[in-house]
Each structure stands twice: as C-alpha cells, then as structure tokens.
Amino acid sequence: MSGLTDHHGERLPVGVLTGFLGSGKTTLLRQWLQDSPAGETAVLINEFGAVGLDHLLVGRIDADTVLLDNGCVCCAIRGELKDALWRLHQRRLRGELPPFQRVLMETTGLAAPGPVIATLIGDAQLRQIFRPAFISTVVDALHAPWQQSRRPEWLAQVAAADRLYLSKTDLATPQQAEAQRAQLAQINPLASIVTCGLGAAVPPAWQMQESHALQTDWLARAIAGTPRGRRGQRQGQGLHAGAQAFCLELDSPVDWCVLTLWLTMLLHRHGDRLLRLKGLVAVAADGWPQGQPTALHGMGHLMHAPEHLPEWPGEDRRSRLVFITAGLDEQHVRASWQSFQSFYRLHSQDNGSQTPASPSLHTA
C-alpha cells in the first residue's frame, strides 16, 4: 500500500476511454476531440488503423504522431505505455508538441483498463508527471448481453468505469435499452450512465469533472448505503457474469494503520477478484470527533492515493466501502474485517505484549 499520500501539484490528468470491440469508442472519441479546445488534449491509441481519425489529420509530425485539425495531438503506442507517455512529456517540454493539458488513452476493445492504471500508479517516474483522472466505458446496447456472457474483458471494463456510455440506443428497442441500463446499474452501482445514441451531444468526460477521489455521484451513493435491486433484493444477488456489489458499513472512526494494513493484505491475496473498490471512510484523527472523511479508490492489486477531504459531503458520518467483486464472497470480506479489527483492538489493550503475527485472510 505504498504511495498512500498524494501531492497533485501540476500533474497532467490521464483519462481512459475503453469499451468492447464495436461499442462506439471511435465515434465518441471523435466527438470529444471536435468539441475540445484547440491543442488541449493528447490522445494515445494502440494503432492508428484501429481508429477512424484519418479525416481529422492535417499533418504528420513523425512516424507515430499527428496533429488533428483542432491542434490536438494523436499518438500511436508502438511499445510500452510508459515509453509513450514519457515521449509525450519530453516533446511537450521541448515545445515540439502543443502544450496539451490532459492525456486521453483509448484502449483496444479486448483490453481491461487495469494495466493502464497500474502503469500510472506503479511507476515512480510517471507518478511525478501524470495522475489518473477517470475511466469511461462505452457499452453497446444491442450486443452487450452476448459480450457479457462470453467475454471477461467486458466485465472488467464495465466494473472499472466512473461513467458508462450506453451506445446504439437508437438501434435498440426501448425495452432493450432499459434492460441494459438496469443490468449496468447492478454490475457497477458506482458509475453514472449516459445515453449516447445517434445524434446525442455528449460532453467530454473531463468537462464533467470526473475524479477518482471526489466524484460526487459515487460519494452520494456510498453515503446513502448499500444499493438495492428490485423487489428488495440486496445489491449483488442474482448478478450475471460472476460479479457482485456490496457495501461494508462502519459506524465508528477507523484506525488508519489498521485499515490500510487490512486492505494491503486483502488486495495482495484477492486482487484478481477485486474488480473495483471505492469508499468514503471516517479516519480517526485529532480535531475530527467523527473522523476525517477520506476517499479511497482501488482496482485489482492497486490503490490510488487517498484523498483527505476538508469536510463531509453529507450528514451521514459513517464509513462506506463499496466493493465490486468476481468470486470474492461478501460475508468472507465482512468476517475478515471484523476479525482483523478485533485482533488489533485486543492487542492494543495489552501494552506489555509483543506484537503477534497478523491474522490471515485465507478465509476471505
């Protein structure tokens, strides 16, 4: 759980645009670029041939980089993402590229966004220059049921999103579109859902003030409590594709060291089954009788830097940790936290004892 303190400074935000093959990423990307201010966005794509931007190109800078008609930069990733980001940064500093204000990474249709976030968080060099900003996933309203049942990448893309864009709603029946919206809300109750059918004007994600730490819609949902499905069903029951969502609620302020140690062990052992973690927790701290509000965000084996908020965004001061998992049982996670917390509470009362080994998470 290293890197749990964050110094944003002037780091450039990096957004991820993902979605399964044929979902409509290119159409949405083209609209975003046409509507964005001149030269403010650098776009990273895997191959130029995969994105229909040829009609926007006005001049090739080198083998991998072109300028779009609005002055924005579009680059192909021929090797590692780190190398591509580093080249962008260096050429921006030298004045060879416009002074773009953000980077937008479009993944291939068969990729999960986790490795992109892992690169940004895990690399010491990149952490000083870039920061994760948002994950936007495009979902095909017509073909999503088939993709969900057969492609695990689809689930990873949906579960990781801050915002879901439901495309091709003009081709689907109203019943199909509504059913898909309901399914997406079950799989990822933390994400807002935007309809982007033919002719719909969809503002760029960065204009919607997406933030992995301060996004108000997921904070509001976390504060409201465990989401519930139809007929009073608890969220996570009856979900398809092996995913479930549940909320761990804590009534008292938590010890920061205990919480981070537990999360470290949980992610180390079960990161492959943890699709998404978002939370607002009350951290025990001087001057905060009800705990300092702290936003957490993670996926897989990685945790973003926490955001210690200056004030609570609502009246409810309880901690909420919302999990989206595949094959990680809710009751085992709850039992693991209770066991871990009880262990350290008991130990803190025994001042003269030597610190024993931490309880394991083998049952989680």
* 348/265: higher pLDDT: 265
> 51 pLDDT band (50/70/90 cuts)?
very low
Domain 218-226+243-349 maps to which CATH number in 3.40.50.1110, 3.30.1220.10, 3.40.1080.10, 3.30.70.890? 3.30.1220.10
Indicate if the pLDDT at residue 16 is higher than 60.
Answer: yes
Would you say residue 158 has pLDDT above 90?
A: yes
Position with higher pLDDT, 235 vs 181: 181
Contact 169, 127 (CB under 8 A): no
In the block, residue with structure tokens 């079950």: 186
Q: Which of 45-49, 229-233, 282-286 has the highest mean pLDDT?
A: 282-286
- How far apart (Å, rounded) are the C-alpha atoms in residues 139 and 23? 6
**Coil vs helix vs strand at 260:** helix
What pLDDT score was predicted for residue 291? 94
Q: Which two tokens stand for residue 167?
A: 């495309």
Angstrom distances, CA of residue 125 to CA of 120, 130, 257, 262: 9, 9, 27, 28
The answer to whether the beta carbons of residues 308 and 284 sit under 8 Å apart is no
* pLDDT tens readout for residues 243-258: 788 888 888 999 999 9
Quote the pLDDT of residue 214. 42
Q: Is the pLDDT of residue 169 over 60?
A: yes
For domain 12-202, which architecture applies?
3-Layer(aba) Sandwich (3.40)
Q: Which residues contact 75 (CB under 8 A, 6 or more apart)?
A: 42, 43, 44, 45, 64, 65, 66, 84, 87, 88
pLDDT digits (tens, 9 = 90+) for 261-292: 999 999 988 888 888 888 889 999 999 999 99
Domain locations along the chain: 12-202, 218-226+243-349
Q: pLDDT-derived band of residue 260, with 50, 70 and 90 as boundaries?
A: very high
Q: How much is the average pLDDT of 318-344?
A: 88
pLDDT of 231 strictly over 80: no
User: Residue 56 pLDDT more than 60?
Assistant: no
* Weakest-pLDDT range from 51-65, 129-143, 246-260, 311-325: 51-65
Higher pLDDT, 29 or 50: 29
At 362 the pLDDT is 42
Long-range contact pairs involving 174-178 (C-beta distance under 8 Å, separation at least 24) = 176/141, 176/142, 177/141
Task: Give the full edge-to-edge strand order of the sheet including 130-140.
Answer: 57-60, 65-68, 73-76, 41-45, 102-106, 12-19, 130-140, 163-167, 192-196
